Structure 1
Amino acid sequence: QGNGPQYDHTLQTEDGWFIDTSSLKSNQTARLISTMTTVTTRGLCLRFWYRAYGAQRVKFNLLQRASFDVNATLISSIRPNLDIDWREAIIYRQTSGNYEFIFEGITGITVSSSDNIAIDDITTNEGSCPTQKFCDFESQDICGYVSDISGNFNWTRHQGATFSVSTGPQYDHTTFTKEGYYMYIETSSPRRPGDIARLISPTFPVSNEYHCLQFYYHQYGVDIGAFNVYKRDVGGSLNPLKIFSSRENRFDEWHVMEINIVPTKPYNIIFEGVVGKSFEGV
């Protein structure tokens, strides 16, 4: 119906099954609630495939409700966009207890036949999650990326325009709306020229094949410092290998970069932002 999936994720055929929101009318909410699930001290990895298509008139939320609670807690919000592909969400929960997971679809005042949320192949496994290959920063856990404590400050998860005029994007690259999230560095006071913030990826495994690192970056401001990307082998040299660097004002648009990686050892990717001469460098 409309722009709903033409096939499921499991079989990739019209014979497969999935759950979607195609029957919702305006101002309605649909909830799919899991059985009570135990999160042990080892944590729990929740994985599912979703397809969220629309022009921001619908919302797709994942909530968690403890066995003794009436209210649920929002743990992730995925904004619909114009992407017709199935995407995987991987979410790690580490607070032990018994919980229900709630998949929630909410429609707005107006609903188009193009507005559709579908989910398929939901799994839970005890323990940590595998390294996530794709990250759009829509989830609060930012896919396991962490800030480097040796830096002067941290990258910030943000949506919409940045706080400084004539800098930064107006929207993220995933949804192209002010609802989507991205990571950025804020260079206003108390930041000083040369201050550094580093964002470190989860560890990626060894492989006999090349890995392709692809990312979108936005570099807008008259006093841009530097944006560097490094590959650091686990157990290797303390000095990571610089694989990309950009210093110029690249104006108010998103740019794509692809870099081939030779994964001879487990490795991390480090995204480094360096503050320029003033706040006009994001």
Structure 2
Amino acid sequence: MCTWTNTQSGDDFDWIRRQGGRTGKGPSNDHTTGTRDGYYMFVDYETNNGHTQLQSNLYPANPGFYKCISFWYYMNGINTGILTVLQLVDGQQNALWQLTGDQSNDWMFGQVPMSADKDFRALFDGEVLSNSATNDVAIDDVTVTDGKCPVTPYGAYIGPTFPPSSPLPTTLPNVVIPPGPGNCDFEDGICQYTLDPSGDMTWIRGKGLTDTDDTGPSKDHTHGTNGWYLYVESNDGNNAEEARIISGLLTPTDDNCLVFWYHMHGDQIGTLNVYIKDQGGSGPVVWTRDSEQGDQWLRGQIGIDFQLATYQIVFETIRGRGYRSDIAIDDILVENQHCHAVTPSPGSYPPFCDLESGFGDCGFDQERDDDDFDWILGAGSTGSNTGPDFDHTYGTQYVKFDFSSKSACK
């Protein structure tokens, strides 16, 4: 197991090293080789209860610097337990990364930074919640490198959403959203937004708790339990089903800035997308977020500087793998000013960009004056006989040039 060992005390059983597809439980292949011959570390849920911990060797202090713990994880099954990454410092275990429940029937990439201000060890903790045969937790290809890295996926982050230098914006009860084709606080209906009849599910106005436990908001963003918001009730749908609302028609005045608040709480949360469309098509995805974001309202912000005579805003949800995936939005406002896209940590950009939440999340923006066309966010095949079929990290999104329809590029 390289430099990793099972802890000798403080847990209930051991991680086991095993191959895929041998006993009908766990991943069928390891991540490294993609075959049944490869090995990974597995939490044996059938004969154990409680939790198990795997620990690294001791990393010596290097004040002011960080280590990045990168790994691949597999969490599949309706009764899947909890995977936590902790840092052991001065005998104290501090949880830094955690996911609960079914994530995917595939290996997924994770990483978390750890401060090297003091001597430390890294720990992987697997907790069994059920002894049923649908409870697979495994890890593979763990690497430790120098430098700080962003928590991946974002939903695994444990701690305050905003760093101390960027406090969470306060929510005031007298916030007023003015009338407008893209504005709405949902207090008196859905304003100039309309439901897309082609969707599999529908958006509905909500007040207080949603109909499903352990998911969705308990109050609206501005007026608490007396206010209204818009959400999609996932208990009424199936996996990967979609729901969309479309704004009224907007005419840009130079640049526009779309500001909205979103709530994505639940261990089976799917995806929230925002599109900017013209009257002739669906338009590009300009903002996206997926997975658990905590039981809180978070601010989204998108700069709209597309060269369109008119446009509409589309909010789309894609249902997650279960009913605990209610997604809500509130207090949508389109302002006549330029802005950059922000994530829940505005101004705190990671040292690299995986594009999973759009390039604006990393501090990048389209050049508006000195080029000929824009980069676009891609996923899967580019639709021509060139370009990638999938991205480097997850097999999902990337940014590309579409050379087939442009005459020049810079």
Q: TM-score, normalised by structure 1?
A: 0.58
Structure 2 equivalent of residue 54 of structure 1 = 77
Deviation of 1:64 (Å): 1.2
Which residue type is aligned with residue 175 of structure 1? Q
Higher strand share: 1
Give distance in 1, aligned partners of 2:168 and 2:100. 32
Give distance in 1, aligned partners of 2:364 and 2:27. 37
Q: Deviations over 1:90-136 (max 9, x none)?
A: 1112351111211111112x32112111111111112233x78x734
Deviation of 1:175 (Å): 2.3
Partners of 1:53 and 1:117 within 8 A in 2? yes
Partners of 2:60 and 2:119 within 8 A in 1? yes
Unaligned runs of 5+ residues in structure 1 are 206-210, 217-227, 245-257, 264-282
Which residue type is aligned with residue 135 of structure 2? D
Structure 2 equivalent of residue 202 of structure 1 = 350
Change (3 A) 1:262 1:230: farther
Matched, 1:160 2:215: yes
> For residues 91-102 of structure 1, what are the structure 2 equivalents within 5 Å?
91-102=112-123
Give distance in 1, aligned partners of 2:52 and 2:398. 41
Unaligned runs of 5+ residues in structure 2 are 1-22, 172-213, 221-227, 234-263, 271-290, 301-328, 378-396, 403-410
> For residues 1-282 of structure 1, what are the structure 2 equivalents within 5 Å?
1-25=23-47, 27-40=49-62, 41-66=64-89, 68-69=90-91, 71-81=92-102, 83-108=104-129, 110-129=130-149, 135-140=153-158, 153=169, 160-162=215-217, 163-164=219-220, 165-168=228-231, 172=265, 175-176=268-269, 181-182=292-293, 184-185=298-299, 198-199=342-343, 202=350, 231-232=364-365, 260-262=399-401
Give RMSD over aligned pairs.
Answer: 4.8
Structure with more relative contact order (C-alpha pairs < 8 Å, separation 6 or more): 1
DSSP 3-state at the match of 1:167: strand
Which residue type is aligned with residue 50 of structure 1? Y
Deviation of 1:35 (Å): 1.4
Change (3 A) 1:125 1:261: same
- The aligned length equals 217
Q: Which moved more, 1:43-52 or 1:78-87?
A: 78-87
Deviation of 1:176 (Å): 3.4
DSSP 3-state at the match of 1:9: coil
Change (3 A) 1:80 1:2: farther
Give distance in 2, aligned partners of 1:17 and 1:31. 18
Deviation of 1:138 (Å): 2.0
Give distance in 1, aligned partners of 2:100 and 2:229. 26
Q: Deviations over 1:54-82 (max 9, x none)?
A: 2244111111111x22x311111112315
